[in-house]
Amino acid sequence: MEFTIDAKIKLNDGHAIPRLGLGVWLVSSGKSCESVVRAALDAGYRHIDTAAFYGNEESVGKAIRDSGIARAEIYLTTKLWNSDHGNPERALERSLGKLKIDYVDLYLIHYPVPERLRSWRALAGLRAGGKARSIGVSNFTIGHLTELLANSETVPAVNQVELHPYLYQRELLDFCHKKNIVIEAYSPLTHGERLNDAKLVAMARKYSKSPAQILIRWALQHDVVVIPKSAKRERIIEDADVFGFAISAEDMRTLDGFNENLRTCWDPTHAP
Ligand code: NDP
């Protein structure tokens, strides 16, 4: 499979999302966040994943506006936070006001809270109004998606979930593939928790790559969007240097076998 840094995946609504993006959870708002986003744009990233909850939308927006790169060339995601389900329209307006940008490319329900079905209808309206080009969900299990699809004609463009070899959600991947929902892999570097795992380090050595690069490449080869986070310029560059090599089919199977159902962030399995 041949990829480049500007390679995209087509979504079910006709738009397309870059396969690689920079995640900015835990990047503090202010100058440091601006320089992190700028470093990513300089390194060729054209996709930034933020959220109202991350508290850094102002800085993300400023870095994008100051970059001089045309808005249409940058893919921007933000998310509806759990306490904002009472009024998703107002929540998106607030996010856009902080970003000082007219629209987001993707607006996600951050977590499957009980009000999710009503909010999903509101997001469909936001998409129709053009404030969000695409809409999707995050942390949805097969059960949550099945319920949503039974209650709405609008199929989410994306389901953003934790995914890496230590949490290889094979059934969810297959389900979303069949329903034409693109998976975005969050915490693809295991939030840093398994980067020193001996079997991953050995695999990285075999390819003369870093453990982080192996994990990002694994996600790309599973045909999912991947959004690693780093607040360090050298690592931002390193994490995008994953297009000049390929993991063999046999080693992909070995990596798949690392699964231990490790969840470094949320566990939505029992979210009612
Ligand atoms: P990641 O799995 O991307 O790991 C980030 C950690 O890895 C940081 O400690 C970072 O440190 C370190 N790191 C990055 N690159 C390297 C490297 N090349 N070598 C060594 N260490 C490295 O973590 P996140 O949990 O942040 O996930 C990524 C993004 O996914 C988030 O930022 C967010 O956008 C999204 N996300 C979405 C969630 C949701 O509920 N929808 C939940 C969690 C994440 P340093 O910064 O110091 O380089």
Q: What confidence score (pLDDT) does residue 243 get?
A: 96
Q: Give residue 3's pLDDT band: very low, low, confident or very high (50, 70, 90).
A: confident
Ligand 1: does its nearest atom lie under 6 Å from the Cβ of 133?
Answer: no
Q: To the nearest whole number, what is the mean pLDDT of the chain? A: 97
Tell me if residue 54 is catalytic. Answer: yes
Ligand 1 atom nearest 188 alpha carbon: 2
CA angle in degrees (0–180, nearest 5) for 95-27-57: 10
Q: Does 2 score more than 90 pLDDT?
A: no
Mutate to test the pocket of ligand 1, among 36, 187, 217, 242 (most ligand atoms within 8 A of CB): 187
Q: Give residue 1's pLDDT band: very low, low, confident or very high (50, 70, 90).
A: low
CB 266 within 8 A of CB 111: yes
Ligand 1: does its nearest atom lie under 6 Å from the Cβ of 237?
Answer: no
Order of strands across the sheet with 182-186?
22-23, 47-49, 75-80, 104-109, 132-138, 158-162, 182-186, 225-226
As a whole-number percent, the residues of the chain with pLDDT over 90 amount to 99
Q: How far is ligand 1, taken at its centre, from the CA of residue 149, in Å? A: 30
Ligand 1: does its nearest atom lie under 6 Å from the Cβ of 188?
Answer: yes
Mean local confidence (pLDDT), 229-258:
98
Q: What is the pLDDT of residues 255-264, one digit of tens each?
A: 999 999 999 9
Q: How far is ligand 1, taken at its centre, from the CA of residue 22, in Å? A: 9
Mean local confidence (pLDDT), 225-229:
98
- Which residue has the least CA distance to atom 46 on ligand 1? 230
Cα separation, 215 vs 198, in Å, equals 14
CB 110 within 8 A of CB 79: yes
The whole model's pTM is what? 0.98
- Which residue has the least CA distance to atom 37 on ligand 1? 186
CA angle in degrees (0–180, nearest 5) for 256-224-33: 110
Q: Does 39 score more than 80 pLDDT?
A: yes
Mean local confidence (pLDDT), 5-22:
97
Q: What is the pLDDT of residues 80-131, one digit of tens each?
A: 999 999 999 999 999 999 999 999 999 999 999 999 999 999 999 999 999 9
Ligand 1: does its nearest atom lie under 6 Å from the Cβ of 77?
Answer: no
Cα separation, 60 vs 98, in Å, equals 9
CB neighbours (10 Å) of residue 70?
Answer: 7
Ligand 1: does its nearest atom lie under 6 Å from the Cβ of 227?
Answer: yes
Q: Does 4 score more than 70 pLDDT?
A: yes
Q: What confidence score (pLDDT) does residue 246 get?
A: 97
Among 45, 54, 166, 186, which one carries the catalytic annotation?
Answer: 54
Ligand 1: does its nearest atom lie under 6 Å from the Cβ of 160?
Answer: yes
Ligand 1: does its nearest atom lie under 6 Å from the Cβ of 232?
Answer: yes
Q: What is the pLDDT of residues 48-69, one digit of tens each?
A: 999 999 999 999 999 999 999 9
Instruction: Please count the residues of the chain.
Output: 272
